Structure formats: C-alpha cells, structure tokens
A and B are shown apart, each in its own frame.
Chain A
C-alpha cells in the first residue's frame, strides 16, 4: 500500500494503518532498532513502541512524502533511549563512544552551556552533509544516524576499517569548522 493511503488511515483513526505499516516497513524498522540495541527482544519491543508512537503522532503530523524517514526517526529515538536506560545492554558503551565522537564536532567547547535550537542545528548539519560527496555523506549517516559499527560500515562500503575511521575523523573536523563558520560557538 502506498504511504499516502496509510497516512490517510492514520488520519481517519483506522487501526489497520498499523498493520499496513508493519507489513510494509516492519522488517526495516526492526533491523534499524536491532542495529542500535543489538538485542533481538529489545528490538521487537522498540518496533512495537514505534507503532504506538506513530499512532499518537499522526495527526498532527502528516509525513506523506517521508513516511519511512519519519518512522525511522521514531525508531532511532526509542532505541537510543533503550540503550541509555538499560544498563544490561552491551551497546551502552558503543553509544557512549559515539557521543564522544560527536563531541569532537562541537566547536569551541567550554563549560558554558548555551541553549541551541536543535532543529536549526540539524538544518545546518543537513546542509553540511549535502555538500559532501555521496559516499562520505552516507558513511557519516551510517555511523551517526544508524549507529553502525566501523566494521559494519567497512563491510558495507568495501573499505578498510582504517580508511573509514580516517574518513570519519576528517569529516568530524570539517563539521566542526563548518559549524564555527556558521556562527555556532557552543
């Protein structure tokens, strides 16, 4: 079923929208959650929570043209929270490592925490990524959005792990300079 029709069902409060969503995107969302939490049962829990949250979010949202990205965003959010809240999950250390890597992108870091509009920041981030070559952009997204391990990215891209690490290191530096140039001093 087309995304547009599924969204219509959500808007009409037709519960079949959930089963249609599960049929069309369930395996991809589960794979995404599995990639983040690295635990099959938790990934299934996350997937079910995604349907619930999607039901609560449409309306007011109407993600007709980006339904998968909308679902993926919710999945990532839920899975990431799971990793942080459940100490038993092995991925907790990986998430901490990813946070440290992201910290390197933040320009002129100091102790003064200023409020930053996250949405605006992400627009800047999106603009930065769109300026990157396709492969670099995808690798950055796989690492910091899908939270793939370096080994997985190397397998996907056919590159050596060391090359992936170097590429990401340079991109983080470039991003920091870009954010500085855009006036972000956080």
Chain B
C-alpha cells in the first residue's frame, strides 16, 4: 500500500470524527478595527468615569420617582406620592420617601428628624436614627416634625451634596431639592 492509498482510505473514517473536526478552531480573522475600537472604548469609559467623579455626581437620589436635582420638587399628598403632610395648627409632619443608589461608602445624616432605612431589595427596616452609612442601594423615609413653618431642614449625602427641605412661602407648599 502506498501513502496516497492510505490518504484515500482516510475517507472512510468514522463520520463522527469528520463532523467533530469540521468545527475545530475556525481560523481567526484578524480584525484590526477591533483592537483600536477596544482601545477607543476604554478611553471613552475612563473619561466618562473621571468626568463623573470630577463633576461630583456621586450618589443618585430619587424622590417620588424623579432624579433629585437643583429644581425644587413639591412635597404634597395631592400629588399622589406616599409622603404624608399632617399640617395641624401647630405641628407639621413630613414623611419623605426616597431611594439612594451609591457607588461607594456614603454617609447620610440629617439636621432634624429621623431616617428609617430599608434594605432596597427585601424592604426590611435596617436602621432608624439620624446618621447612617451605606455601601448599597437603600430605601429611606425621612420623617420630620416641626412647629416652625419657616424652618429649613438638611440632609447631607456624603461630601457630595445636601438635600434641602423647606417651605415655599409664596406657593404655600413644602419642597425638596439638591444643593451642592
């Protein structure tokens, strides 16, 4: 028998072996744009992270389903949110629910009132008081009681910003906004 005959006989090897070898490590095409694309994507990502840190965006705070920013959001029962306003003759009670999503360890503390902090995923009460440190996303209810309608309450969110709750005397409503 000659080598070429054996090469021909190879034809009859087990079909499973033929099928198995067909997909063996498809030749890799060199995709030059992929390397540069990856480098560019990394550069964009790093730039975005740096800009994010420099801009001090930091923890994301959502009140009444809205991202909190400099624009005051009205706290009212009539708006359909779950905040409570009990404005009797002498005492105002506000219960402001919000979620806080932090990327790193962040301390919260309030100038007045108490915070009830809940685990975001299972909604169990984790803490009640005026100062709390978290590393994960949490749900918080900030409860304030005051007899002073002109009072101004603050919550510090790490060193990034403060949240201000005050009364808008012209409109006669309580509002919440972010103050860098």
Contacts and interface: CB of A to CB of B under 8 A. Distances in A.
Interface in A64-84: 65-66, 68-70, 72-73, 76-77, 80
Nearest to A158: B25
A77 B22 CA distance: 16
Interface in B4-29: 4-22, 24-28
A141 B26 contact: no
Nearest to A138: B24
B21 A145 contact: yes
A141 B7 contact: no
Nearest to A107: B1
B3 interface: yes
A89 interface: no
Nearest to B18: A69
A5 interface: no
Given A102-B3, A102-B4, A146 B21 contact: yes
B2 interface: yes
A69 B15 contact: yes
Contacts of A70: 15
B6 A103 contact: yes
Given A122-B10, A137-B17, A141-B20, A157 B2 contact: no
A186 B3 CA distance: 11
A17 interface: no
Contact of B4 (A76, A99, A118): A99
Contacts of A76: 11
Contacts of B14: 126, 129-130
A101 interface: yes
B26 A77 contact: no
A80 B9 CA distance: 12
A69 B20 CA distance: 10
Contact of A155 (B3, B10, B16, B28): B28
Interface in A112-169: 113-114, 116, 118-119, 121-122, 125-126, 129-130, 137-139, 141-142, 144-146, 152, 155-158
A28 B22 contact: yes
A122 B12 contact: yes
Contacts of B28: 155-156
Interface of B: 1-22, 24-28
For the complex of A and B, the 4 pairs showing the least CB-CB separation, nearest first, are: A103-B3, A69-B15, A141-B21, A66-B15
